[in-house]
Structure 1
Amino acid sequence: MRIGEVARLAEVSPKAIRRYEALGLVEPTRQANGYREYDDETVRLVREIRVLNRLGIPVEETRPFLECLVAGGEHGDDCPESLVEYHRAIEDLNAQIEVLTARRDGLVRRLREAAYRRSGVTPPEQVQDLTTLPAGLPVPVDDGAADHLVGLRSPTVRLEDTDGSLIDLAELGRGRTAIYLYPLTGRPDADIPAGWSEIPGARGCTTQACGFRDHHAELLAAGIERVFGMSSQTSEYQREVVSRLHLPFAMLSDPDFLLADELSLPTFEFEGVRLYKRLTLIIRDGVIEHVFYPIFPPDQHAAELLRWLHEKAESR
């Protein structure tokens, strides 16, 4: 086959294949007229390079995996040399993570200093870490506030998302949509309000969002068509969260609690402000198929949803 066909089958560019050739990772045969000729084994090798490179292994370091395949291995990591390369790549990534973490923490400190500089208030010495949950958080109990939801139709409620679109919850289309409702997300440059961690189920919105981010591709593969986060915060505030956390899905803003009033969803008050309780709706073909409530711990909820989807698939 020609290089264009290999590129199509392996989902890379012809330029990338020529680079692999220059590095001696793949070797085409030559026809009498001088044209390169590739076979199915080349496609297999190029696919292996692509997968490994996307995992963070440089193209130049994929040679042990390719040699394992050429030697007859079913998988590129069936050989001891490949495992050694895995360890080296992991150590390299850990070193990069340490450097990037130090840079991030430095930026957060400067951000907090700038935010507090003219406030007349001295910032705390420690930067608030929103990406991990503290131990000993109170566990929410099921108060029955969501028992009535399964089987209800998703109402005609139009909410703005962080992409600037209006989403009608009655017109989500076919398939499953996951909407996880949360009270509010904090920011590294602002302190968590006093008493917030003592409210059962309140703490953990950032970690929950990160969980949905990290499992997003798996959720789509398991049957979720769309994922939305949703709170009563403004779209402007939510856009900062989507950008900072690199979320691959949009957030819905419901400052007027339109959905809460339509479906009698559980909310609570904190310092005179009404907020959503943490809850996830699974809407399938316009009808609420399942509700997760209460949710704890929030950082494990996306994995919990993924297990539920797998169980549903196995029970068919």
Structure 2
Amino acid sequence: MRIGELAQRAGVTVKAVRYYESLGLVVPDRLPNGYREYGDEHLRAVAEIRQLAGVGIAPSRATPFIECLDTGHEHSDECPGSLAAYRNGIAELDQAIAALSSRRALLARRLEESASRGFEGAAATPTPDYTSLPSDLPRPHDDGAADHLNGLPVPALTLPTSHGDRIDLATLGPGRTIVYLYPLTGRPGVDLPDGWDAIPGARGCSTEACDFRDHYDNLRSAGVETVYGLSSQTSDYQSEVVERLQLPFAMISDPQHELADALRLPTFEAGGMRLYSRLTLVVRDGRIEHTFYPIFPPNTHAQQVLSWLADHPLAGRRNHPVV
């Protein structure tokens, strides 16, 4: 097969195949006329490189896995070199987590100190930290409230966004769009409803948003056109969150719960408010292709979506490679 066919069948770009060749991971045969010729073994190698990238093994570090396949193993991670690559990846993640945890603690301390300035004669109340999750959060259970959604058309509802415009949900465009619904985001100086942490599935909106932020480029590379968050909070409130968390996507405001009523989406009551239950829709060409519900833990949900996308690639989809 030619390079274009290989790229299409593997769900990558021709540019990506060229990159794999430059790394020595894919070595095509040469025809007498000089054209490259690829076989099933090259298709398997490209698919394997793509899957490894989905779990954090960059193509530049995929050599042990491809060599393992070349020696006849059924799985690319059955060889000592592959296992060593896994261990190295975990060690690097541990170092990064430790460094980020230290930086995070410093920022949280400075946030608390900044929020406390101006209070004299008494210690200020510590600012709640909404960017991390308690270890004892209750896990939500699947009550079947989203079982009817897959395959339904997205209703024609025009709602405001945090970017100051309005969007018709029925015309999100071709391809896949991720719309994750959440109850509400907390922010420094604003109290959450009483008993918030005890409500299964309530806590974690900021961490979920940050996970989609941190994996936005990966989602685009996996074929997602864009991402939206959606809640019943006002677009002004959402705009503050988008700016503070540096989100690369917009939030959609639905204060009247129009989408919930149109699709019979699960909601709950807290602090005298009706709020969306945490739920994510994969919208494709105007219909709900897949639903994630319930979601736990929220702080790694974007990675769960990425895993699903890797298992359900679109034939001939347009890639958005990350440079």
Category of TM-score, reference length = shorter chain: 0.5 to 0.7
Aligned match of 1:33: none
SS in 1 for 2:129: coil
Deviation at 1:95, TM superposition (A): 7.6
More divergent stretch after superposition (163-172 vs 104-113): 104-113
Aligned match of 1:223: 223
SS in 2 for 1:106: helix
Is 1:149 the counterpart of 2:153 in the alignment? no
Superposed CA deviations along residues 232-280 of structure 1, whole A, max 9, x for unmatched, are 0001100110011010000000001111111111100112210000000
Is 1:307 the counterpart of 2:311 in the alignment? no
Question: How high is the TM-score relative to the length of structure 2?
Answer: 0.63
Deviation at 1:104, TM superposition (A): 5.7
Is 1:102 the counterpart of 2:106 in the alignment? yes
Deviation at 1:211, TM superposition (A): 0.3
For 2:248 and 2:314, how far apart are their aligned partners in 1? Answer: 27
Structure 1 segment 169-248 matched on structure 2, within 5 A: 169-248=169-248
Aligned match of 1:289: 289
Deviation at 1:132, TM superposition (A): 1.2
Superposed CA deviations along residues 32-91 of structure 1, whole A, max 9, x for unmatched, are xxxxxxxxxxxxxxxxxxxxxxxxxxxxxxxxxxxxxxxxxxxxxxxxxxxxxxx9xx99
For 2:195 and 2:100, how far apart are their aligned partners in 1? Answer: 36
For 1:279 and 1:155, how far apart are their aligned partners in 2? Answer: 17
For 2:269 and 2:99, how far apart are their aligned partners in 1? Answer: 43
Look up the equivalent residue of 1:144 and give its one-letter code: G
Change (3 A) 1:216 1:96: closer
Aligned match of 1:111: 115
Deviation at 1:286, TM superposition (A): 0.4
Change (3 A) 1:154 1:314: closer
Higher RCO (C-alpha 8 Å, min separation 6): 2
Contiguous gaps of at least 5 residues in structure 1: 1-86
**Structure 1 stretches of 4+ moved >6 Å:** 90-97
Look up the equivalent residue of 1:156 and give its one-letter code: A
Change (3 A) 1:208 1:103: closer
Deviation at 1:93, TM superposition (A): 12
Question: Kindly, what percent of the aligned residue pairs are identical?
Answer: 53
Change (3 A) 1:200 1:245: same
SS in 2 for 1:197: helix
Deviation at 1:92, TM superposition (A): 11
For 2:103 and 2:291, how far apart are their aligned partners in 1? Answer: 41
For 2:96 and 2:143, how far apart are their aligned partners in 1? Answer: 48
Contiguous gaps of at least 5 residues in structure 2: 1-90, 317-323
For 2:177 and 2:201, how far apart are their aligned partners in 1? Answer: 23
Superposed CA deviations along residues 125-184 of structure 1, whole A, max 9, x for unmatched, are x33221111111111011111111111101000111111111100011100010000000
Aligned match of 1:23: none
More divergent stretch after superposition (189-198 vs 96-105): 96-105
Q: Is the 8 A contact 1:231 1:255 kept in 2?
A: yes
Q: Is the 8 A contact 1:176 1:285 kept in 2?
A: yes
Look up the equivalent residue of 1:203 and give its one-letter code: R
Change (3 A) 1:186 1:113: farther
For 1:199 and 1:112, how far apart are their aligned partners in 2? Answer: 29
Structure 1 segment 68-147 matched on structure 2, within 5 A: 102=106, 105-113=109-117, 123-124=124-125, 126-147=126-147
For 2:204 and 2:100, how far apart are their aligned partners in 1? Answer: 26
Question: How high is the TM-score relative to the length of structure 1?
Answer: 0.65
For 1:143 and 1:97, how far apart are their aligned partners in 2? Answer: 35
Determine which structure has more spread, i.e. the larger CA radius of gyration. Answer: 1
SS in 2 for 1:170: helix
Look up the equivalent residue of 2:276 and give its one-letter code: Y
Look up the equivalent residue of 2:164 and give its one-letter code: G
Aligned match of 2:265: 265
Change (3 A) 1:300 1:97: closer
